[in-house]
Structure 1
């Protein structure tokens, strides 16, 4: 099973960075161009990789790092040689900070981070800003904040090198799955909080506080920051609401339908989280979904055990892709305010494993001790998902995400 993930919990007692202490460098302002947009290509997939990631070039000289894109958390962090106390195997050499990159405790971004993690948090050492983030699978990252430059590829074919603040993680703990995501060097925090990368770009005057992603069922896709690539006319828009479960991107509560028939469960609050591989429903909607799916299946499909996911079926022949089995399943729908509907066709809730079985990519959130419902990567595939913090709205448009960025954007006028 791919890692379930990654929602921050309040920080615990923090360790000290082993670097000599120094004042942090002041971030250099980049040229003001708030109408600009930046576009990144993505790699990864739902299965078997378990996440989508972006390559970011960070530092002077710039070095590449793979970062898991996560709209469910705010802080970006890299595994860091500070020196490292506990680090996992990663694809690139560990980020190595210099003394003048440290963010001091008195910096406003440190105060903001600590107030979000724990109201009573105090710095152990004034010259540095400690952080610790825990995730739902009990994984964690502990370190200090640093400021460094990174390359931002603008849509007009130019690029800028702004500075941004992120976590230098020198102590990573593996979660319950006991495996390490060796395909990434860290995490790109794209949440609503002021420490997220997109919020920092807004403050620097580079892009507006708008982001979006297009995740392909064939792997890859793209990520963008800024609002001048947003195809507003074709998007289904829903107002963002304040999630009762935290500061997450949420369209509020939706009514769940199967094959356009109500499943009879009360409206369910959902959040959009690109850091979650699969979609999670609370116990009642999950059981209702499973019952409806099973009731509609043909006798040619038999339930089978598969190590990839809890609920799987085999056919008379080995499945090679979801296309081989999708006609045996029906679409789910979530209906939000103003009759805004998110369709979840079989392609957005099924995977085909290496064993040739079709498995349900909607999981029981109560088993993962979640108190809310998550729309994860599997359900966001082949849809342009737009998080517009300027206007306080979420949008989506269905379309293929497997082509080049330029051709994809031209198909979303």
Structure 2
């Protein structure tokens, strides 16, 4: 069963005392080296080689039963491959780390091994973490510690490190920028569901510590993120603006003066079957770290009442025995596809801006329903108020299926366009075929063999967390 609380990560307001001693013991393993102190020199050199290109990664995963989409990314020299949950709802990228590691799910050989490459706590990226630090920066050369917590009480504690990220860009050049990320040496997952199988999180939020922001500050790519998730469990992720179509994209502005650094849009109106629900003025967060979509109590009730009204008296019946999601229906025979029952459901639309010239985000039934292992159909929209989101509304992966979503941090806007996520727009497909897989294996960001990756979705009971 999917964990309906897995998507919303909220930072714990304080730090735990028992971590303090643990961090002191481990600090000897994390002393910053001269290479770390000199990383700013390498960064200056990178800024002299602005390429303005893009990095493209194949994506695997699904909304159900896996619960997330992920990419493979190489880190270090020699490089090691890590599978990371794509999360536009958080800034910090972190991987399970042998320092040694407590609570890690990956075997020792698949954990990141630090090598005297921590970031000092006096570094700007440390002070700009917006995370509660485990202890004050008494010495500028102390390591930069982090602690991040989640709504289901899972957490990651570690230190910031800097290492090489070997990357192949769309224009054919290769880069080895030194980027900062979290070396997570204590993972806790006390909830009833097993931890996700990925090595960590790929943070693509709006903060300075996010990978996209760092690449932009180094002049490697523009701060534009594109993801395209398919219903069949594939897709692509891009950092840079090469994949952005020149026309056909619907754009809406990011909310100004937002108290958070999330990708929050301005107010929208909720429509059902092209008719107003009466719910207006809702702010929405675009968050790929969320499997499902969360509406506040008012919006959730409005949509659920309208859907139940449509379904009433038809072939579908309530399936309360199916605990995959809060609201499920069953047919006379087990269902195999949403298309078998699509005729019973209507399109949901979010209208941003004015009533006459607003920007429309259409969500067909196949992008808000799932078919469970039991052959039932369930609603992939949940009541966020019930899990403490208050008035937040989160658009998750289920709404993103079959749509290219563009997070344009350069122009402070979000765009979307229906897409075949098995194909790359605006790129010469033959170009990628010339790349050598021996020289640039998966995880370096290349186009050759883009959709030939493995898919771990066979593990049907695993869930992942996304940060709010």
If the length of structure 1 is used for normalisation, what is the TM-score?
0.93
For 2:11, the equivalent position in structure 1 comes to 9
Structure 2 unaligned blocks of 5 or more: 430-468
Pairing 1:228-239 to 2, within 5 Å after superposition: 228-239=242-253
Q: How far is the alpha carbon of 1:318 from its aligned partner?
A: 1.6
Q: 2:184 aligns with which of 166, 169, 172?
A: 169
Q: How far is the alpha carbon of 1:19 from its aligned partner?
A: 3.8
For 2:453, the equivalent position in structure 1 comes to none
- The answer to whether the 8 A contact 2:30-2:115 is kept is no
Q: Distance between the aligned counterparts of 1:409 and 1:386, measured in 2?
A: 20
The answer to whether 1:143 aligns with 2:158 is yes
Q: Distance between the aligned counterparts of 1:124 and 1:326, measured in 2?
A: 60
> For 1:339-364, what per-residue CA distance to the aligned partner results, in whole angstroms no more than 9, with x for missing partners?
10111110110000111110000011
The answer to whether 1:281 aligns with 2:283 is no
Q: Which moved more, 1:383-392 or 1:291-300?
A: 291-300
- The answer to whether the 8 A contact 2:328-2:379 is kept is yes
111 and 154 in structure 1: CA distance in 2 versus 1, 3 angstrom threshold: same
The answer to whether 1:386 aligns with 2:406 is yes
Pairing 1:8-157 to 2, within 5 Å after superposition: 8-10=10-12, 12-13=14-15, 15=20, 16=23, 17-24=26-33, 25=36, 26-27=38-39, 28-29=42-43, 30=46, 32-89=49-106, 93-99=110-116, 101-113=117-129, 116-118=130-132, 122-123=136-137, 126-157=141-172
- The answer to whether the 8 A contact 2:224-2:239 is kept is yes
288 and 121 in structure 1: CA distance in 2 versus 1, 3 angstrom threshold: farther
Hey, which of these two has a bigger chunk of strand by percent?
1
Q: Distance between the aligned counterparts of 1:107 and 1:219, measured in 2?
A: 39
Q: 1:318 aligns with which of 326, 334, 337?
A: 334
Q: Distance between the aligned counterparts of 2:27 and 2:253, measured in 1?
A: 45
Superposition RMSD in Å: 2.2
Q: How far is the alpha carbon of 1:123 from its aligned partner?
A: 3.0
For 1:354, the equivalent position in structure 2 comes to 373
Q: 1:270 aligns with which of 260, 263, 284?
A: 284
For 2:388, the equivalent position in structure 1 comes to 369
Q: How far is the alpha carbon of 1:21 from its aligned partner?
A: 4.3
Q: Which moved more, 1:104-113 or 1:25-34?
A: 25-34
SS at structure 1 position matched to 2:213: helix
6 and 409 in structure 1: CA distance in 2 versus 1, 3 angstrom threshold: farther
Q: Distance between the aligned counterparts of 1:311 and 1:189, measured in 2?
A: 31
288 and 131 in structure 1: CA distance in 2 versus 1, 3 angstrom threshold: same
Q: How far is the alpha carbon of 1:181 from its aligned partner?
A: 0.6
SS at structure 1 position matched to 2:385: coil
Q: 2:358 aligns with which of 328, 339, 362?
A: 339
2 and 340 in structure 1: CA distance in 2 versus 1, 3 angstrom threshold: same
For 1:261, the equivalent position in structure 2 comes to 275
Q: How far is the alpha carbon of 1:324 from its aligned partner?
A: 1.2
Structure 1 unaligned blocks of 5 or more: none
118 and 96 in structure 1: CA distance in 2 versus 1, 3 angstrom threshold: closer
204 and 383 in structure 1: CA distance in 2 versus 1, 3 angstrom threshold: same
Q: 2:322 aligns with which of 296, 299, 306?
A: 306
Count of residue pairs brought into register by the alignment: 405
Q: How far is the alpha carbon of 1:120 from its aligned partner?
A: 11
Q: Distance between the aligned counterparts of 1:379 and 1:121, measured in 2?
A: 40
